[in-house]
Amino acid sequence: MEIIDQKIIPSIRSVQDLEKMFDFSYRYGVFLDIHISRLRSLYSLARENGKQMFLHIDLVQGLKSDEYATEYICQEIEPFGIISTKGNVILKAKQKKVKAIQRVFAIDSSSIEKSYSMINKINPDYIEILPGVVPKIIKEIKNSTGKQIFAGGLIKTSDEVEQAIEAGASAITTSYIELWKLYNQ
């Protein structure tokens, strides 16, 4: 498994966000809320600028996120990685040799237990935990799975970034540009 060696992973929602990312030294980013018709051109632009992009396939507008869509995206768009809450999507991405991130919503004990069951069954490459402002849960999931953890959602300060990292997160996924600036290498 490739180690993501940056504290911040910029989350991109628009062409303007992608262009802003080019001003920074970040190698990895995440596409969110992108229309299917824009994927090919956005990935080409990102590659031309040396960026490796994950795709949150559940948030692609105009695409049903299932194993067939995942196969299409992996073959035609060739993302660096796929993010999803769905086990069948994660399995298909892994089958296609694309990095797979299981997104976990830590909303209560039951949701975390269900997530453990899926993680053990699916074996994703990485885990993204939302919300990322709960260090106790980051530490618990990191210790229980041994996986590289990304924390996302509701993180807006450097203190929150540092608490998540200290708890075991390898990186923070964020669209908050002030944090991009603060942690630019």
- The interaxial angle of helices 109-122 and 135-145, nearest 10 deg, is 30
- Give the single-character DSSP code of 103: E
What is the reported pLDDT for 1?
65
Per CATH, domain 8-183 is 2.40.10.120: no
CA–CA separation, 64 and 142 (whole Å): 30
Bridge partners (DSSP) of residue 84 are 102
Q: Pairing mode, if any, of strands 81-84 and 169-174? A: unpaired
What is the reported pLDDT for 20?
97
- Residue-wise pLDDT for 55-101, tens only, equals 999 999 999 999 999 999 999 999 999 999 999 999 999 999 999 99
Residues 6+ apart with CB under 8 A from 134: 106
What is the reported pLDDT for 46?
98
| Domain boundaries defined on the chain | 8-183
pTM for the predicted model, two decimal places: 0.96
What is the reported pLDDT for 2?
74
- Nearest alpha carbon to residue 176 among 15, 8, 7: 8
Question: For the chain, which ranges sit under pLDDT 70?
Answer: 1
What is the reported pLDDT for 70?
98
